[in-house]
Structure 1
Amino acid sequence: MTCLLLPPHPASVSTARRWAAPLLESLPADVRHPVVLVVPELVTNAVAADEAAGAADDIEVELVVDPPHGHVVLAVTDASDRPLPPSPAHVPGEEDGGRGLLLLDILADDHGWTPRPCGGKCVWALFRCTPVQRRTTTPQRLECADAA
């Protein structure tokens, strides 16, 4: 598990993405790329939630990369007690935002949120992977499980 504390500021979005990318380098692209896309989306939502709540608390980004058990977990905290809204079914092309939860629905195998005892919430995403059995003696490689 690796954690990063960030101020609730828009510049934290790119910082979080740059922080997460090297932590995921050992994973295959079909696992790594979705996680790298979701990290800035969840941090963007946390920054907006903290601004709306008038909070100056740091945003905590937690990343658990666990290839032996076949998953990656991303968790991002914010100061808002408001529940995670439902994902939109469609976002008009001319809109500047509103796609984060839609991307989360599409890219993560599971996601949700939990209230924090000290206030605020934690939004999490799970990316499942399964080991692929090789016919040779080479080490196993992780690939995403089929969505079907």
Structure 2
Amino acid sequence: MKSETPLDNPRSHTSVLTATPKGAAIGRRIARRQLAAWRVNLTATEAYYAALLVVGELAANAITHGRVPGRGFELHLCLTTTVRRGTTLRIEVSDCRGDRLLPVLPVRLTPNSQSGRGLTLVDALADRWGTIPRHPNGKTVWVELDLPAGGTDAA
């Protein structure tokens, strides 16, 4: 028998990772495994693939633009079901660069640009996103994805 996620009772996972390309890759693997553990529909939902892309882009930004030598970044995933919104996946990536609190979407990209598309992708995929300061000196970029009805098979 399948049970449902209790209303307003999130399932969450947090990992602290090294601010390196390997740390970003591990973050993507963790997200994939956690979504599978939560039984987010792995085969049919765009939200699953959007979540993995968002984690990858935010992790890449954390190691590229938010890196402080000797400090890592944090990946936090939270799955919540509420009456008003249904099931929402919240992705948070925190880094130690509080001086760069507001990520900036590029105004114009050229076809040959090698970078600069990450936040544009995040903006296009997210239902909601933003940044919040992180005490004492850092920031968290958060993204919320509303999962379609049937987007999870609760364990």
TM bin, normalised by shorter chain, reads 0.7 to 0.9
Give every structure 1 segment of 4 or more consecutive aligned residues whose post-TM-superposition deviation is greater than 3 Å.
Answer: none
Cα distance in 2 for residues equivalent to 1:92 and 1:13: 26
Q: Deviations along 1:8-36, whole A, 9 cap, x unmatched?
A: 11211211111111222322322111000
Secondary structure of the structure 2 residue equivalent to 1:24:
helix
Shift, 1:47, TM fit: 0.8
Partner of 2:92: 75
The structure-2 alpha-carbon separation of the partners of 1:90 and 1:130, relative to structure 1 and needing over 3 Å to count, comes to same
Cα distance in 2 for residues equivalent to 1:88 and 1:118: 28
Task: Establish whether residue 31 from structure 1 lines up as the match of residue 44 from structure 2.
Answer: no
Secondary structure of the structure 2 residue equivalent to 1:38:
helix
Q: Point out where structure 1 has 5 or more consecutive residues left out of the alignment.
A: 132-140, 144-148
Q: Deviations along 1:77-130, whole A, 9 cap, x unmatched?
A: 011111223212442222221111001110010100001121110000000124
Secondary structure of the structure 2 residue equivalent to 1:37:
helix
Q: How many pairs are equivalent?
A: 132
The structure-2 alpha-carbon separation of the partners of 1:120 and 1:55, relative to structure 1 and needing over 3 Å to count, comes to farther
Q: How do residues 82-97 of structure 1 correspond to structure 2 at under 5 angstroms? A: 82-97=100-115
Partner of 1:59: 73
Aligned mate of 1:41, from 46, 57, 68: 57
Identity of aligned residues (%): 28
Q: How do residues 1-148 of structure 1 correspond to structure 2 at under 5 angstroms? A: 1-25=12-36, 26-28=39-41, 29-51=45-67, 54-67=68-81, 69-81=86-98, 82-131=100-149, 141-142=150-151
Q: Deviations along 1:121-141, whole A, 9 cap, x unmatched?
A: 00000001243xxxxxxxxx1
Please give the TM-score of this superposition, normalised by the length of structure 1: 0.80
Cα distance in 2 for residues equivalent to 1:62 and 1:85: 19
- Superposition CA RMSD, Å: 1.8
Contact kept in structure 2, 1:61 and 1:77, CA below 8 Å: yes
Structure ranking higher on relative contact order (CA contacts 8 Å, 6+ apart): 2
Please give the TM-score of this superposition, normalised by the length of structure 2: 0.77
Secondary structure of the structure 2 residue equivalent to 1:50:
coil
